[in-house]
Structure 1
Amino acid sequence: MASEPDLSVVAQQWLDALGRTLREGDADSYTAVFAADAWWRDLLAFSGDLRSLHAVDAIGPMIATAGTLEVTGLELDSQIPPTLLSGDSDQPVVQILFGLTTRLGQVRAVARLTPREDGAWRATALLTELDALKGHEPASGRRRPTGTPAPDERAPEHWGAKRARELEFDGIEPDVLVIGAGHSGLGLAAHLTSLGVRTLVVDRNGRVGDNWRNRYDSLVLHDPVWANHLPFMPFPPTWPVFTPKDKMGDWLELYAQALELNVWPGTRVASSTYDAADGTWEIHLDRGGQTRTVRPRHVVLATGLSGTEPLVPEIEGTDVFRGELLHSGQYSTDRARAGTSVVVVGTGNSGHDIAQDLYNSGANVTLVQRGPTYVVGGTTVVDVMLEPVYGEESPPTEISDLVGASFPRLEASAQTGLRTAVALMAERDRAILDGLTARGFRHHLGDDDLGAMNLFLTRNGGYYIDVGASRLIADGEIGVVAGAIERFTPSGLELSDGRRIPADTVVLATGFRGIHETARRVLGDAVADKCGPVWGLDDEGEIRSVWRRSRHDGFWISGGNLTMARVYNKYLALQIKADLEQIELPSVP
């Protein structure tokens, strides 16, 4: 184009056209708003689900559904003006943030527009997300509680007594039982509590945060602090970039107290049944040896996507091995291993972390690598991928979350951009990657050269975000052996090519069976068998069965890293609130 467009005019004209199309529900008006190859990602607002729809055949039915939702009030975001994005394309791209209202509630939205040959601007990508249900807005910000008694309350119940009663669910039932008091379970409970949903969180550990405290000493979070804020309560500006595990545990405990979440530590599910006729669970809880029965309408499993059931490969000869054999889930730091030979099987995050912890404890460590691993430096990820959106000078977290969600995972430009970033990070890490290669460590750029995020979304593993172990490997401080394990011997391991590795201890960092199998153990076969596949991507690029309906009524799964849990637990909470209030969300084929 000969001159820069007037962004406000471009944005407003397109927004007016979108408003007409949505109000009329006219799928034939697709070309008045969307480019031929457009994507519309919707998080509950128009589909009642997490959907990524591509091109007219998929988007047309959503436009028709919009016509039933009484769309009004389309307005550009007053704080964030339309922006001309820089990029590799010769064609200009304008990004706009805006809001609208439907009969269900408030909707936030992002669109990216490009011009056609005739100068008309059309959306190549649209995100809509249900931000709040009408009449059931969260009690935060301007709607926060006053903290004082009502004027007509003559004998008010003081805060401490009220909290004690709420915590015990004395005489009342929870609407929702959340199993697992990690970041996913607590973050979801915070959202639900803000919506007035009575929520009980149970965890088998003795204290909130013990799921972090009880792990090996050297563990730190692999994602930086700016990406890891929890809902309603961000980390303070003095917080370290990579959070030590005990500090994370303490923060979760403080978070639960500050947000007045109802958590019962030292509690496990003893048995459960679901009454489909009245949509109610009966859950028998073992609370420190005492049985308590609760009857929630919804149960959420939030015990970690990897699950709690170890994945242990069948290897001949475990009965003859004279040393210590344990799974990574059982591993904890032990200074008594100093000077001993330890073999760690597996080269994902856990395998590297445990090898580094063992090295710091004085052990002689060898990693057994069974297949190539994607490796990227933790600081490299921050500099290249995260700093613009989750960094010291980045936009507010809620804006970065919103814009980040606007990129459908299967969109060609999004995948091209991710490949470009992965290649750039590899060049930045070239020295350490070459050092790994020299030691026989096999690495690649991930499936289809899409790096760690794609591996996380599709396999929940197969990568290492380096926080120190790669340098130890490159320097020869931690040994590496590539190959398949044939059998255990009395004194170690034998590989398929005949090589033998002596070991006093073998740690199997071979993963877990997944949260679906945890559901089977905790809630039984009847629940697990009815659930669809959990994790991985469906044919629209959306994650299967997490933060969305599981195919078993009243049962949900929450998980993901801190960023994803923060973003998507809100939508899970809104679905549960809508169900409790008998609000029918829309549906799109």
Structure 2
Amino acid sequence: MTAGTTEIDTLVVGAGQAGVAMSEHLSKLGVPHLVLERNRIAEAWRTNRWDSLVANGPAWHDRFPGLAFDQLNPDSFAPKEQVADYFEAYAKQINAPIRTGVDVKQVVRNVGRPGFTIETSEGVIQANRVVVATGAFQHPVIPAIAPQGLGLNQIHSAQYRNPEQLPEGAVLVVGAGSSGTQIADELQRAGKTVYLSVGQHDRPPRAYRNRDFCWWLGVLGEWDAVAMKPGREHVTIAVSGAHGGRTVDFRELAQHGLNLVGLTESFDNGVVRFREDLVDNLARGDENYLSLLNAADAYIERNGLDLPLDPQARQTFPDPECVTHPILELDLAKAGVTTIIWATGFATDYSWLKVDAFDTNGKPQHQRGVSTEAGIYFLGLPWQSRRGSSFIWGVWHDAKYIADQIAIQRQYLTYRDADQRQADAPTVPNTSAIGA
């Protein structure tokens, strides 16, 4: 062993919600471990989100079992700074062995001996197991169709903070998931002319019949779905906790002045072209919305629950002009568009992880986080074990499963065969002849 090398049974990389949850379960099972974080605990919540962001789930739902949000109504939505503070408080409560400001540069499997060699900015670590808790939202993705040389201000949603940071002029927001929709709404409320490019999406009600949609997905068993429905792999979800929590209704947003367009297809000499799919995309979102209302009504009737009727939930806004006569082309200069915000998701980067744990597309190969590479585990991935894996409480349960698997492997390694047990047994003197 090289001088200055740290030895630990399990190394956890990342101290966001996944890393903190992992530490709790490993501690409960008595597994010696260390958590490394290149920035601060839950840093992404502080600096990789826009200023007004709140959690998408209510405080009673989006938390770990061992701690409630301090001084926050359980049915409200925690601001991003309070979410980050929550994880810092949780890490302190469980006495998590976290080292911040340490960057993991490389993980390599040892040859001829167990475990892995981990090179960090603070030295070398030897670990029997490595849990990759860096999550799925590591590097913002801007698609290749992004125009070049037009002098436009182009940023990813991860770089957006507030309307004041943008130059004068209209804004095109590409992507109508939770992030894109909330950003577009905020910009429109700030007086900006906004075009929102809407692709396929799911659009659940924020609440229905006095219950949040998180509650409905729970009692209907939807959080436990183990695989996304075929053809829905790239469908985003339009849901928000902003403004106290309101259902995202694209037609309502259009009534307030937001310009809806279809999927962004291409740019050519300053002209952006949109697919002729806006009507279909809105219709599929409506179908998803109504299916949950119908399932909730059936559940209430089946179980005889006394929950108030909610007729307003089925009322719809009329199709606005931008839907009945969709914009298929937009000259950015003539429309006064000076900014494009790409709410187009994130990619992972595992280039530092030099192990055989990935498929030909570079995606982790795993079963509920247990990698095909023995001793490597992944935590914090969407649909890691089920639909709920993307939520704070879901990652806590996924961490528990992985910790159990690590404990099982540790038990196997403590096995001693019969010869070893006999050799290790203390010698007992034969006293039968004493005093004879």
Query: Do both proteins adopt the same fold according to a TM-score greater than 0.5, normalized to the shorter chain?
Result: yes
Between the aligned partners of 1:532 and 1:337, the Cα distance in structure 2 is 35
- 2:107 is matched with 272
- 1:383 is matched with 211
1:217-258, Cα deviation, whole Å (9 max, x unpaired): 121111122222214333347345211111101111111112
1:484-528, Cα deviation, whole Å (9 max, x unpaired): 3321545x7344654334421111111123xxx422x23147443
- 1:57 is matched with none
- 2:54 is matched with 220
The residue identity in structure 1 corresponding to 2:174 is V
**Secondary structure at 1:465's aligned position in 2?**
coil
* Residue 37 (structure 2) pairs with residue 203 (structure 1): yes
- 1:485 is matched with 265
Which consecutive residues of structure 2, in runs of 5 or more, have no partner in the other structure? 276-327, 381-389, 415-436
Q: CA deviation at 1:384?
A: 6.0
The residue identity in structure 2 corresponding to 1:304 is G
**Secondary structure at 1:569's aligned position in 2?**
helix
* Residue 184 (structure 2) pairs with residue 349 (structure 1): no
Distance 1:373 1:565, change over 3 A: same
**Secondary structure at 1:225's aligned position in 2?**
coil
- 1:567 is matched with 397
**Secondary structure at 2:83's aligned position in 1?**
helix
* Residue 149 (structure 2) pairs with residue 320 (structure 1): yes
* Residue 293 (structure 2) pairs with residue 293 (structure 1): no
Distance 1:447 1:479, change over 3 A: farther
Which consecutive residues of structure 1, in runs of 5 or more, have no partner in the other structure? 1-169, 391-399, 411-445, 449-453, 535-543, 585-589
Is the contact made by 1:337 and 1:362 (CA closer than 8 Å) also made in structure 2?
Answer: no
The residue identity in structure 2 corresponding to 1:209 is A
Q: 1:462 aligns with which of 207, 212, 236?
A: 236
**Secondary structure at 2:260's aligned position in 1?**
strand
Between the aligned partners of 1:553 and 1:531, the Cα distance in structure 2 is 20
Distance 1:239 1:498, change over 3 A: closer
The residue identity in structure 2 corresponding to 1:329 is A
- 2:313 is matched with none
Between the aligned partners of 1:381 and 1:547, the Cα distance in structure 2 is 34
Is the contact made by 2:163 and 2:186 (CA closer than 8 Å) also made in structure 1?
Answer: no
Is the contact made by 1:324 and 1:505 (CA closer than 8 Å) also made in structure 2?
Answer: yes
Is the contact made by 1:376 and 1:466 (CA closer than 8 Å) also made in structure 2?
Answer: no
Distance 1:381 1:362, change over 3 A: farther
**Secondary structure at 1:190's aligned position in 2?**
helix
Distance 1:244 1:238, change over 3 A: closer
Is the contact made by 1:201 and 1:263 (CA closer than 8 Å) also made in structure 2?
Answer: yes
1:156-205, Cα deviation, whole Å (9 max, x unpaired): xxxxxxxxxxxxxx985222221221111111111111222222222222
Between the aligned partners of 2:21 and 2:355, the Cα distance in structure 1 is 27
1:416-475, Cα deviation, whole Å (9 max, x unpaired): xxxxxxxxxxxxxxxxxxxxxxxxxxxxxx968xxxxx95xx54x522114455376143
Distance 1:493 1:532, change over 3 A: closer
Distance 1:266 1:195, change over 3 A: same
CA RMSD in angstroms comes to 3.5
1:357-414, Cα deviation, whole Å (9 max, x unpaired): 4335543321112x23221232339716544797xxxxxxxxx9xx96996758xxxx
Identity between Structure 1 and Structure 2 (%): 25
Distance 1:480 1:281, change over 3 A: same
Matched positions, count: 340
Between the aligned partners of 2:133 and 2:339, the Cα distance in structure 1 is 32
**Secondary structure at 2:238's aligned position in 1?**
strand
The residue identity in structure 2 corresponding to 1:383 is R
* 1:352-501 to 2 correspondences below 5 Å: 352-369=181-198, 371-380=199-208, 383=211, 385-387=213-215, 409=226, 458-459=233-234, 461-467=235-241, 468=246, 470=249, 473-487=253-267, 489-490=269-270, 493-495=272-274, 497-501=328-332
* Residue 88 (structure 2) pairs with residue 309 (structure 1): no
Is the contact made by 2:61 and 2:393 (CA closer than 8 Å) also made in structure 1?
Answer: yes
Is the contact made by 2:21 and 2:399 (CA closer than 8 Å) also made in structure 1?
Answer: yes
Q: CA deviation at 1:347?
A: 0.9
Between the aligned partners of 2:223 and 2:52, the Cα distance in structure 1 is 36
- 1:161 is matched with none
Q: TM (normalized to structure 1)?
A: 0.52
Between the aligned partners of 1:220 and 1:328, the Cα distance in structure 2 is 15
Between the aligned partners of 1:175 and 1:571, the Cα distance in structure 2 is 18
Distance 1:270 1:218, change over 3 A: same
Distance 1:320 1:193, change over 3 A: same
The residue identity in structure 2 corresponding to 1:581 is Q
* Residue 30 (structure 2) pairs with residue 251 (structure 1): no
Between the aligned partners of 1:198 and 1:405, the Cα distance in structure 2 is 35
